[in-house]
Copies of this chain bind each other. A is one copy, B any other.
Amino acid sequence: MSDADLLFKALADPGRRKLMDRLHAHDGQTLSELCQHLDMTRQGVTQHLALLEAANLVAVRWRGREKLHFLNPVPLQEIYDRWIRKFERPRLKALRDLKRRLEEDGED
């Protein structure tokens, strides 16, 4: 499975995005900490985190019996480079263009 697949798949789930948000609010939390305030079993959270790790969005460090989770923002930059910047045009111009083409009654 390609990097991009893993990345987009990881981001596709709202629960996983919420985990990212929680880590963004407070980086380095343990699994148990992340489970609190989250309406899901620990095992559910574990599995979501595994996908985030597979996508390289989260890195872990062990401290004794605790697993600390850290956000890695780099892959998000890659999404930006490959998927956003590429499609980027001055926002207003893009909308104008789109609107014009949608409203054309003739052909291109």
Which A residues form the contact surface with B (CB < 8 A)?
2, 4-5, 8-9, 11-14, 17, 20, 24, 27-28, 59-61, 63, 70-74, 76-77, 79-80, 83-84, 86-89, 91, 94-95, 98, 101-104, 107-108
Contacts and interface: CB of A to CB of B under 8 A. Distances in A.
Nearest to A86: B24
Given A61-B101, A98-B70, A107-B63, A83 B76 contact: yes
A54 to B, nearest CB: 14
A48 B5 CA distance: 16
B102 A59 contact: yes
Contact of A28 (B4, B80, B108): B108
